[in-house]
Amino acid sequence: MSNDAASPVATDHRRDFIEAWQQWHRRHEETRADPHGFLAVTGLHWLTSGPQRFPDVPGEWHTGDDGPVVALGDDEEIIVDGRLVRGRYEFGPIAERAGVTVGVEGGVLEVARRGGHDILRPRRPDHPLRVDYRGTPTYPPHPNWVLTGRFVPFDTPRPTTVGAAVEGLKHVYDAPGRIEFAVDGVPLSLTAFNGVRPGSLSVLFTDATSGVTTYPANRSLSVAAPDEQGRVTLDFNRATNLPCAYTDFATCPLPPAENRLSVAVEAGEKTPHERLAGSPADRS
């Protein structure tokens, strides 16, 4: 992509742009390194109908139509909704992509449902992946990677099945439409899913940098709600890694096939240090 003209106005705009990006990325990194964030996850356990114990989780667990159940030993306890729990506790059915966080000794435990399966993910602040985290490398932010696109809604949301970072697991999302845009004159489009905020969108994608300078499986981009004309802004400088880029204990969705871009999106987050060849933390 071409560079900006070096006029005083362009220089001031570039400075403001970089400062805004730095503030955003700093907040994003702080969230990622939260004491109970994904870098603190120490395991991924799949519940079945048969009772099981796990080395880093209190209690004996099983699940079924009525949701996860734990039977705690005489010397075991958890905290649910601020209440100390001993003995048997029934969580009830958990909705897909939802979860409950309970307190355990030394950290917290996520009881969740992913891809139609109930899972446990303990999180401990002293986990080496979090303690040793040194930040994620990025491309230098550049205004040229702030693109205007157009949201084209589908007649009705389309259930879209995608793969996951865990082999054999599937996720199903309702796609409300696609985003059309261009990079250096090359027309492109991305199937969009619903974002966190009402009306906002989220896209999962790979591109020609994937597996070269960026994480091969996926990157994610949040997109603000379209305006009345359907216009959206794609700021690829804010393309981020999903948790699976850092830990094997994630169940992240993969992009739909049509979201594999042919161009090189040289913007946003790169492959984490933890996944680079030769890294002590590399488990990929």
pLDDT per residue as tens digits for the range 163-206: 999 999 999 999 999 999 999 999 999 999 999 999 999 999 99
For residue 278, the model assigns a pLDDT of: 45
Residue 29 has pLDDT above 50, yes or no: yes
Q: Is 92 left (phi over 0), alpha (psi -120 to 50) or beta?
A: left
Q: Is residue 178 part of a domain?
A: yes
Residue 283 has pLDDT above 50, yes or no: no
If one counts the domains in the chain, the total is: 2
Whether 195 and 236 map to the same domain: the answer is yes
Q: Is residue 13 part of a domain?
A: no
Residue 79 has pLDDT above 60, yes or no: yes
Alpha carbons 5 and 9: distance in angstroms, whole number: 9
* Domain end residue (candidates: 65, 94, 123): 123
* Domain end residue (candidates: 95, 123, 151): 123
Q: What would the mean pLDDT of 209-233 be, rounded to a whole number?
A: 98
Return the minimum-mean-pLDDT range out of 10-14, 110-114, 125-129, 192-196.
10-14
pLDDT above 90 coverage of the chain, percent: 90
The two beta strands, 201-205 and 219-223, are antiparallel
Whether 176 and 260 map to the same domain: the answer is yes
Whether 86 and 143 map to the same domain: the answer is no
For residue 7, the model assigns a pLDDT of: 63
Residue 11 has pLDDT above 90, yes or no: no
Whether 156 and 119 map to the same domain: the answer is no
* Domain end residue (candidates: 74, 94, 123): 123
Q: Is residue 113 part of a domain?
A: yes
Q: Is residue 211 part of a domain?
A: yes
Residue 282 has pLDDT above 80, yes or no: no
Whether 116 and 163 map to the same domain: the answer is no
Whether 53 and 143 map to the same domain: the answer is no
Whether 118 and 155 map to the same domain: the answer is no
Q: Can you tell me which residue has the tokens 């949201």?
A: 151
Q: What is the mean pLDDT of the chain?
A: 94
Q: Is residue 220 part of a domain?
A: yes
What is the per-residue pLDDT across 49-73, written as a single tens digit (0 to 9) for each? 999 999 899 999 999 999 999 999 9
Residue 218 has pLDDT above 80, yes or no: yes
Whether 269 and 177 map to the same domain: the answer is yes
For residue 277, the model assigns a pLDDT of: 60
For residue 196, the model assigns a pLDDT of: 93
Whether 81 and 164 map to the same domain: the answer is no
Residue 246 has pLDDT above 90, yes or no: yes
Alpha carbons 21 and 140: distance in angstroms, whole number: 10
Whether 97 and 177 map to the same domain: the answer is no
Q: Is residue 29 part of a domain?
A: no
Q: Is residue 119 part of a domain?
A: yes
For residue 9, the model assigns a pLDDT of: 63
Q: Is residue 11 part of a domain?
A: no
Whether 152 and 257 map to the same domain: the answer is yes
Whether 141 and 268 map to the same domain: the answer is yes
Domain span holding position 72: 43-123
